[in-house]
């Protein structure tokens, strides 16, 4: 791997792309340390630390790389862009015009990209307004001055910060290596991991008897390694459907007759089911926390059932009902998201038009039914794997109080982005006849 990296750095074009990407990431981390003017940072940190349930805002903080906890200008991070991308993707299914743009090649994709940018700014504006108004209602949260002016200042800073991250992500995609938006999200997640691992060792290893400390350290490292391996296996697993194309004779030339494959990823929905389910669970508690309204006894109990910090807790097993619902939602969203991103009927029709068929399966409707059956089978396997990865950190958190930010969602994102970035560098190296990362 090290030798391959040296080969990559020998190529000026790739070296400049890597350095540009690293420079952009350094700018992001620098921006994460610049606080928003108008907010009393010390009061904000005290308020954040005093929350009895850190799940709701913690979910946001882990994707901002700690920017939210320190209330920096990048506190909203890239999450408005991710949400906007999901919304636009869903709209392409519901609105025929957007679906037409999606199939319209480069021009259509540019229109969808522009629409995503507008949605990003709108969402960032709405989120920053909600946060600023919430701060203005909290005693001593804002510095002394005109509250209206301070709210406007906070909204402008947070919205501009989110737009700036979107711009950096697009620049990394154009001039760097990998998908810029994914890399921005990954560096934020990675920035929290060293502190989390240090906290785990401080909690279970340091200061404990030698035997107990050694066993705890081995268990911690083993769990992390096992989860990473599970994510790598789940990310790379796929079912390949063979496709045969009929031969066509035109004049003296023969066309077709070749074989290809349709790769169906086992984890077809990626990390989206976890994000959907967790966002749905955390929305009620997030609203109560930001508004400063603890709600009545009924809603407080509902939030307790929806809070993952209460799941698998030996003292409150009844709250684990929320975990069961969470698992069911993971499976549901795995099927739902796949259904809107993969259309077996469209695949079957395209194969039929191109003279392709699956050996042993008739073209047309039988092919779409066959693909649907295979897809339903592998989606369930992928959902089970996703559930294990997502629930394992929750189990250790509930049973042993091991609170970390790199849960199943974070690991899947980090591993997927790293593998994809390596593959992109690999492909650029192979074009220049260099031995790549995957050859070791």
Rounded (10°) angle between helices 105-136 and 272-291: 30
5 band by pLDDT with thresholds 50, 70 and 90: low
Mean pLDDT is highest, among 66-70, 77-81, 161-165, 401-405, for: 161-165
Print the domain residue range for 102: 32-176
pTM: 0.78
Contact assessment for residue 367 and residue 355, using Cβ atoms and an 8 Å cutoff? no
Q: What is the pLDDT of residues 274-324, one digit of tens each?
A: 777 777 777 676 666 665 555 567 777 777 787 777 788 888 788 888 888
Q: Is 98 among the domain residues?
A: yes
Q: Is 106 among the domain residues?
A: yes
pLDDT over threshold 80, residue 213: yes
Structure-token match 């295979």, residue found: 374
Bigger pLDDT: 2 vs 426: 426
Q: What is the mean pLDDT of residues 409-433?
A: 77
Q: Is 259 among the domain residues?
A: no
Q: What is the mean pLDDT of residues 7-30?
A: 85
Q: What is the CA radius of gyration of the chain?
A: 24
Q: Is 17 among the domain residues?
A: no
pLDDT over threshold 60, residue 242: yes
Q: Is 222 among the domain residues?
A: no
Q: Is 244 among the domain residues?
A: no
225 band by pLDDT with thresholds 50, 70 and 90: confident
pLDDT over threshold 90, residue 426: no
Q: Is 170 among the domain residues?
A: yes
Q: Using a pLDDT cut of 90, give the percent of the chain over it.
A: 8
Residue 420's nearest CA partner among 181, 116, 222, 88 is: 181
For 339-345, the CB contacts below 8 A with 24+ separation are 340/89, 340/90, 340/93, 341/89, 341/268, 341/269, 342/264, 342/268, 342/375, 344/368, 344/369, 344/371, 344/372, 344/375
Contact assessment for residue 357 and residue 243, using Cβ atoms and an 8 Å cutoff? yes
Distances (CA, A) of 17 to 25, 178, 183, 435: 12, 10, 13, 18
Average pLDDT of the residues of the chain: 81
pLDDT score at 233 = 87
Task: Look at the chain and report how many structural domains it folds into.
Answer: 1
Q: Is 72 among the domain residues?
A: yes
Q: What is the mean pLDDT of residues 367-396?
A: 87
Task: Count other C-beta atoms under 10 Å from residue 254's C-beta.
Answer: 10
pLDDT over threshold 70, residue 251: no
């Amino acid at each position: 791997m090290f030798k391959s990296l040296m080969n990559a750095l020998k190529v000026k074009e790739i070296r400049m792309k890597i350095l540009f990407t690293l420079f952009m990431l350094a700018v992001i981390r620098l921006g994460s340390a610049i606080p928003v003017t108008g907010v009393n940072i010390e009061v904000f940190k005290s308020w954040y630390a005093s929350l009895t349930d850190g799940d709701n805002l913690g979910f946001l903080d882990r994707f901002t790389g700690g920017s939210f906890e320190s209330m920096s200008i990048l506190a909203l991070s890239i999450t408005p862009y991710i949400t906007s991308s999901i919304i636009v993707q869903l709209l392409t299914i519901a609105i025929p015009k957007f679906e037409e743009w999606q199939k319209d090649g480069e021009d259509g994709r540019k229109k969808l990209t522009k629409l995503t940018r507008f949605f990003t700014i709108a969402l960032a504006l709405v989120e920053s307004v909600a946060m600023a108004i919430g701060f203005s209602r909290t005693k001593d949260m804002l510095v002394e001055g005109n509250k209206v002016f301070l709210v406007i200042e906070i909204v402008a800073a947070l919205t501009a910060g989110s737009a700036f991250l979107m711009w950096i992500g697009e620049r990394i995609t154009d001039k760097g290596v990998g998908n810029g938006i994914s890399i921005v999200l990954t560096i934020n997640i990675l920035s929290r991991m060293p502190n989390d691992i240090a906290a785990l060792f401080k909690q279970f290893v340091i200061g404990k008897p030698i035997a107990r400390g050694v066993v705890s350290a081995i268990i911690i490292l083993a769990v992390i390694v096992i989860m990473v391996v599970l994510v790598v296996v789940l990310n790379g697993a796929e079912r390949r459907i063979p496709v045969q194309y009929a031969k066509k004779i035109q004049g003296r030339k023969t066309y077709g007759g070749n074989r290809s494959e349709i790769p169906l990823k086992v984890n077809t929905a990626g990390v989206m089911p976890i994000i959907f389910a967790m966002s749905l669970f955390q929305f009620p508690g997030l609203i109560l926390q930001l508004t400063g309204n603890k709600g009545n006894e009924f809603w407080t109990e509902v939030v307790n059932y929806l809070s993952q910090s209460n799941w698998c807790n030996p003292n409150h097993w009844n709250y684990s009902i929320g975990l069961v619902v969470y698992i069911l939602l993971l499976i549901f969203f795995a099927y739902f998201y796949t259904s809107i991103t993969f259309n077996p009927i469209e695949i079957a029709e395209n194969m039929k038009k191109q003279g392709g068929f699956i050996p042993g399966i008739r073209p047309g409707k039988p092919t779409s039914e066959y693909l649907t059956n295979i897809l339903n089978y592998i989606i369930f396997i992928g959902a089970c794997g996703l559930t294990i990865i997502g629930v394992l950190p929750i189990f250790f958190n509930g049973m042993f109080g091991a609170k970390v930010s790199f849960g199943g969602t974070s690991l899947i994102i980090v591993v997927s982005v790293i593998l994809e970035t390596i593959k992109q560098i690999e492909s650029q190296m192979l074009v220049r006849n260099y031995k790549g990362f995957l050859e070791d």
